[in-house]
Amino acid sequence: MSARTDRRPAVLAMSAATAAAVLGTDARRRLLDLVDIDPDLVLADLRSEAARTALARAEVMVTGWGCPPIDAEVLRSAPRLRAVVHTAGTVKHHVTEACWERGIQVASAAAANALPVAEYTVAAVLFANKRVLRTRDDYARDRDRGTDWQAGLAGAGNYRRRVGIVGASRTGRRVIDLLHRFDLEIWVSDPYLEPEEAERLGVRPASLPELFAACDTVSVHAPLLPDTVGLVSAELLAALPDGATLVNTARGDLIDQAALERELISGRIDAVLDVTSPEPLPADSPLYTLPNVLLTPHIAGSMGNELRRLADFALDELERWTRDVPFLDPVRPSAWDRTA
């Protein structure tokens, strides 16, 4: 592929593996149509001679997983840089204060990445309320030798069950939207959620203690910030009703891991965990083999062909920028302190 020269100059900054996974043939073709770029030049080091040469003329940087920090030194090599378009979710790993001081416009594909996380969460909630984990093991043990499944699952099901959402974040709101398709009662705990907004979302606002004590399933979607580490405490976990399920697709450090392990080892509650603390867990962690735990290796976000959605969303934003149209989903410095 050869770069066109009648477009604004751009550069790719991410790992080579990310570029190969996210930017397929169609995405690269569209990239060439939108900007003047060498799609084979992928910068994983923004301080190399090749990087300085490319950055000297770039007006927009298309970033991805593996992009180094765009700090003041890098920006001195990029005097014309005016925008960063990220092909994944959070930009906190590479967008720095120096970018905001420059007035650089930033967009990310966080909205696109929220959808598969929300889909995973909804599947987990529906399976949890149906008691799929425990029923699987009972079925394997009994081989359906006259088992009365109606009696055994008398308390199971998804009709008018209470689902608690911790954090009305971007992903939390996608989960809420998807859950409204089912006969569920949705509770939300978020200190920034105003009553009018809760009414618009069709949810019941609640404090964390109220939510944990009342809900059959609780799903965590709060951002990991200094004041949210350990947000789901031992006291909150103890407040969960017997047989409740905790779902975490956000960050492991939001939960008191030791307290969670104690509850799960006791068998009192269930959990669906796509993230843990640490990540991955030690090889001898009991969570790998507990029958009441579904443990996955941080796969709820975009995987496989879902990466194409990230590229499409980011390229849509890039096209808006080339036409001097505001980003659909800009990252704003004013929200920096309360977003992931």
Give the pLDDT confidence score for residue 321 in this predicted structure.
97
Span 147-160, average pLDDT: 90
User: pTM for this one?
Assistant: 0.92
As given in the structure block, the two tokens for residue 66 are 């593996």
Mean pLDDT, the chain, integer: 95
The Cα–Cα gap between 132 and 153 comes to 10
Instruction: For residue range 49-87, list pLDDT tens digits in order.
Output: 999 999 999 999 999 999 999 999 999 999 999 999 999
Query: Do residues 200 and 254 share a domain?
Result: yes
Sequence-ordered alpha helix ranges (H) in the chain:
16-22, 25-34, 49-55, 72-76, 97-102, 110-129, 132-142, 149-152, 170-179, 195-201, 208-214, 234-239, 257-266, 307-322
Give the pLDDT confidence score for residue 240 in this predicted structure.
98
Q: Give the pLDDT band of residue 291 (cuts 50, 70, 90).
A: very high
Span 280-294, average pLDDT: 96
Q: Is residue 213 part of a domain?
A: yes
Whether the pLDDT of residue 2 is over 50: the answer is: no
Boundaries of domain holding 88: 10-108+304-338
Query: Do residues 190 and 225 share a domain?
Result: yes
CATH number where 51 lies = 3.40.50.720
Whether the pLDDT of residue 121 is over 70: the answer is: yes
Q: Is residue 140 part of a domain?
A: yes
- Out of 162, 221, 251, 317, the active site residue is 251
Q: Is residue 286 part of a domain?
A: yes
Strand, helix or coil for residue 42? strand
| 86 in active site | no
What Cα–Cα distance (Å) separates residue 95 from each residue in 61, 100, 105, 208, 307? 11, 8, 10, 32, 21
Instruction: For residue range 301-327, list pLDDT tens digits in order.
Output: 999 999 999 999 999 999 999 999 999
As given in the structure block, the two tokens for residue 318 are 């890039």
The count of domains in the chain is 2
Instruction: For residue range 209-233, list pLDDT tens digits in order.
Output: 999 999 999 999 999 999 999 999 9
Whether the pLDDT of residue 254 is over 80: the answer is: yes
Judged by average pLDDT, the poorest of 1-10, 39-48, 125-134, 254-263 is 1-10
| 279 in active site | yes
Q: Give the pLDDT band of residue 6 (cuts 50, 70, 90).
A: low
- Out of 28, 298, 309, 338, the active site residue is 298
Give the pLDDT confidence score for residue 162 in this predicted structure.
98
Q: Is residue 45 part of a domain?
A: yes
Query: Do residues 123 and 215 share a domain?
Result: yes
Query: Do residues 313 and 330 share a domain?
Result: yes
Contact (Cβ atoms closer than 8 angstroms) between residue 81 and residue 141: no
Query: Which residues, in sequence order, are CB contacts of 191 under 8 Å at separation 6+?
Result: none
* Percentage of residues of the chain with pLDDT beyond 90: 89
The Cα–Cα gap between 212 and 189 comes to 10
Q: Give the pLDDT band of residue 4 (cuts 50, 70, 90).
A: very low
Query: Do residues 156 and 84 share a domain?
Result: no
Instruction: List the strands of the sheet with 83-86, edge to edge.
Output: 42-43, 10-13, 60-63, 83-86, 105-107
Give the pLDDT confidence score for residue 116 in this predicted structure.
98
Query: Do residues 171 and 205 share a domain?
Result: yes
Residue the block writes with tokens 């990239």: 31
| 298 in active site | yes
Give the pLDDT confidence score for residue 141 in this predicted structure.
86
Query: Do residues 161 and 250 share a domain?
Result: yes
Query: Do residues 273 and 166 share a domain?
Result: yes
CA nearest neighbour of 329 among 313, 308, 309: 313
Query: Do residues 124 and 90 share a domain?
Result: no
* Percentage of residues of the chain with pLDDT beyond 70: 98
